[in-house]
């Protein structure tokens, strides 16, 4: 974050980008930094180094009653997840607006001069398993309508759960009925998610390549840094022009929730930069925006469904994954150092070289 502040890590002084006053979640970051839970030290590092969270955005986070606090939650990961659900998953233009699209985050609105051209198509990939988990919650007022519409679309019994077996059965059925049926599924899914659908992360389609040439989309997930996905999840995608979108935003740690697979982008980068999950995958640019809804969701869905056939990240023994996080983040730092040569980016990288 923007101002320099000294803390001690492992007995050594360390300067990081934070405002000078103490924060109610500093103790939680210190705990995460020392945690043996895979990805926890990386998460703490991300929140200590993200230069895109300026004073205005940090004040917004601090003042949120759902952000890490002793009154709501002392667990940082849960608090960040609560913050995401209540302050980020809102319709743009509503009152209040989602925090990513608010005036407090205006420094991360991509200006007109840096927006991609209309022909630089964007790509958004989502897990059907996770979308259905949201939709089928008992508290979702659109659940029953969705079940009826889906049953009419497939001609099968209403879907009541998002188990891997049920989602596999549904995905295979939709695929067998053809691209237009998959696109109609995208539309009713959008409608069922309603005004509280999470924003979309997007990459440039040409940087991902022909990911849908086979049903296995594991390599696309690795390129996009989607390490939270599990083997067997079914995926759906949208390809669309940036001209459809009013606002495009650079991602920050506040949008990455509690993911250690995210890595903050250096000062001076026009977009976000993914941290790929293997040496073979290449980092690509990323941004975020409000979701395409209803008819737009139908029109720009690719009409194909993929699958995670292999683990995007080696989530096995704790010792292995902890070492993997260290090596992957170190390699990504080196990559950023070669790509971003400005004084600001180089100083930022050096300043945080000691973090996980």
pLDDT tens per residue across span 156-186: 999 999 999 999 999 999 999 999 999 999 9
Comparing 5-9, 100-104, 114-118, 349-353, the range with the smallest average pLDDT is: 5-9
Length of the chain: 356
Mean pLDDT of 344-350: 96
pLDDT of res. 69: 55
pLDDT of res. 175: 98
pLDDT tens per residue across span 41-100: 999 999 999 999 999 998 888 887 766 555 554 578 888 888 898 899 999 988 889 999
pLDDT tens per residue across span 244-267: 999 999 999 999 989 999 999 999
- The full DSSP string for 271-296 is SEE---SSSSS---EEEEEPPP-HHH
Whole-structure pTM over 0.75, yes or no? yes
Residue 2 token pair? 């923007």
pLDDT of res. 318: 59
- The full DSSP string for 100-147 is GGSGGGGGGBPPGGGSPPTTS-EEEEEEHHHHHHHHTSTT-TTHHHHH
Mean pLDDT of 260-289: 96
Q: How far apart are CA 155 and CA 173, in angstroms?
A: 10
pLDDT of res. 299: 98
* Residue 296 φ then ψ, to 5°: -70, -35
Residue 23 token pair? 């924060």
Residue 343: how many CB atoms within 10 A of its CB? 9
């Amino acid at each position: 974050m923007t101002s320099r502040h000294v803390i001690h890590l492992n007995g050594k002084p360390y300067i990081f980008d934070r405002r000078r006053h103490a924060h109610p979640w500093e103790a939680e970051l210190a705990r995460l930094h020392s945690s043996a839970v895979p990805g926890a030290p990386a998460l703490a590092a991300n929140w200590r180094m993200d230069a895109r969270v300026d004073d205005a955005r940090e004040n917004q986070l601090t003042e949120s009653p759902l952000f890490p606090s002793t009154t709501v939650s002392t667990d940082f990961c849960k608090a960040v997840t609560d913050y995401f659900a209540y302050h980020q998953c809102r319709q743009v233009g509503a009152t209040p607006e989602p925090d990513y699209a608010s005036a407090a985050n205006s420094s991360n609105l991509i200006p007109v001069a840096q927006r991609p051209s209309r022909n630089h198509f964007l790509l958004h990939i989502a897990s059907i398993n996770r979308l259905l988990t949201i939709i089928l919650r008992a508290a979702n007022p659109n659940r029953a309508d969705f079940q009826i519409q889906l049953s009419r679309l497939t001609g099968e019994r209403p879907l009541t759960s998002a188990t891997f077996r049920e989602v596999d059965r549904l995905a295979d059925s939709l695929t067998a009925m053809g691209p237009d049926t998959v696109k109609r599924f995208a539309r009713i899914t959008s409608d069922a998610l309603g005004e509280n659908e999470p924003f979309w992360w997007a990459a440039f389609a040409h940087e991902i390549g022909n990911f849908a040439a086979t049903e296995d989309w594991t390599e696309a997930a690795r390129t996009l840094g989607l390490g939270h996905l599990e083997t067997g999840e079914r995926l759906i995608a949208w390809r669309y022009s940036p001209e459809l979108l009013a606002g495009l935003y650079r991602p920050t740690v506040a949008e990455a929730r509690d993911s250690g697979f995210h890595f903050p982008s250096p000062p001076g980068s026009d977009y976000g930069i993914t941290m790929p999950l293997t040496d073979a995958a290449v980092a690509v640019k990323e941004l975020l925006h409000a979701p395409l809804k209803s008819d737009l969701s139908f029109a720009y869905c690719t009409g194909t469904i993929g699958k995670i056939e292999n683990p995007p990240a080696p989530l096995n023994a704790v010792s292995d994954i902890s070492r993997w996080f260290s090596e992957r983040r170190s390699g990504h730092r080196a990559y950023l150092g070669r790509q971003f040569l400005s004084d600001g980016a180089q100083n930022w990288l050096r300043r945080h070289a000691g973090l996980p």
